[in-house]
Amino acid sequence: MIAALLGFLLGLQARPDPLDQWPQFRGPSGNGHAPHGDPPLEWSETKNVRWKVEIPGAGSATPVVWGDRIFVLTAIDTGSPGSGGRTLHRFDVLALDRATGSTLWRKTATEQVPHEGLHATNTYASGSPATDGKILIASFGSRGLFAYDLDGALRWKRDLGPMKIKVGFGEGISPVLWDGFVVVNRDHEAGSEVVCLEAQTGESRWRQARDEGTTWTTPLVVEDRGVTQVVINGTKKTRSYELATGKLLWECGGQGMNPIPVPVARGGVVYCMTGYKGYSIAAIRLDSRGDVTGSGQVVWSRHDAAPYVASPLLYEDLIYFGKEREPIVACIDAASGEVQWGPERIAGLDTLYASPAGAAGRIYLAGRNGTTVVLKHGRTFEILATNVLPEGIDASPVIVGRRLYLRTARHLYAIGTD
């Protein structure tokens, strides 16, 4: 009995704290904030780089971190001719050692000729993986969904069918792993749906049709008043589904075209944004039920600025976001929607695709030109540092402990002072 109890306690002690990881696209809390992080303020190609490794192929998927491992997805053009003028691609999952950057394992999930093309700035590996420390979920969209243990053994795979993307811009939605379930949004031009699978087996839990065209928006899973909700933005409506059953809980209209940013939530309110050909930010109560368009359940809304590609950062009671894809950033109070500073054009940055990350009283904004500007977290605007790397950045910054991980066009950097 004593030995069993001791073993249990030792197991608890050895289990990583989820808040010390980066298990999904938008970090441990789904909002871009690393509550225990303290990465460097300054770096360059020759300063504070602990390691730098080349990632084969192309991908803008944000890496995820658990324990001593960092997981990266990539698509490698083999050059072998296929159909429709496209070539055979190899879709790989890599596990790297966090301390050294060395490859622990590398698995080819599938080899396929993509059925559609891409926007010039997209890749065939744009959806980020997700892990809970037991299983790793890698989505290559129409090429399939793959589950591995953290040592690289394939647990299961699912083909959910091809997606037809508007204007052939390519895919880029990340899966969400929550309490034994995998949630995948599949908004496209030929039958949109949200799918919930059992994480251990890949078996379908439920599938819910969506009255939407193409979006590139990853769901937010959030618990409110004992009900776990799957909130998905949309062109027609933001909708919330019950995680356990797929039942539609509430919906709210008034959004814009081509939703991409992931919603964020705080204090019983979810914040949804769209920023293409018009701007919309809506603060919607999570205890809503039914259609709440234009009702008092919409706490506040704004239409003067919102991001197109990058997701917002929710850091304590403040929300940071860009305007369209421009290097123009604003900070608003989450409770009231009132502007605290901005919109400010950030010198040194160009186009913003990467979503901002925050830790230790700092905001990290990475641009497609390879420049990362660090701002002071708070209600006054202040630039703390400007850091330049030689390659562009589309993947979002990852913060774990005293390290910052940046995936550039061809490399992954581990930046730290430790």
Print pLDDT tens along the chain (418 aa).
565 555 554 444 456 898 999 999 999 999 999 999 999 999 999 999 999 999 999 999 999 999 999 999 999 999 999 988 899 999 999 999 999 999 999 999 999 999 999 999 999 999 999 999 999 999 999 999 999 999 999 999 999 999 999 999 999 999 999 999 999 999 999 999 999 999 999 999 999 999 999 999 999 999 999 999 999 999 999 999 999 999 999 999 999 999 999 999 999 999 999 999 999 999 999 999 999 999 999 999 999 999 999 999 999 999 999 999 999 999 999 999 999 999 999 999 999 999 999 999 999 999 999 999 999 999 999 999 999 999 999 999 999 999 999 999 999 999 999 7
State pTM to two decimals. Answer: 0.95
Separation CA 46–CA 390 (nearest Å): 11
For residue 171, the one-letter residue type is E
CB distance 220 to 231 below 8 Å: yes
Of the candidates 156, 85, 56, the one whose C-alpha atom is nearest the C-alpha of residue 407 is 56
Tell me which H or E stretch contains 269: strand 269-274
Determine which helix (DSSP H) or strand (DSSP E) holds 2, and give its type and residue range.
helix 2-14
Instruction: Tell whether the torsion through CA atoms of 245, 247, 249 and 252 is positive or negative.
Output: positive
162 CB-side CA count, 13 A: 10
Q: Distance between CA atoms of 31 and 359, rounded to whole angstroms?
A: 12
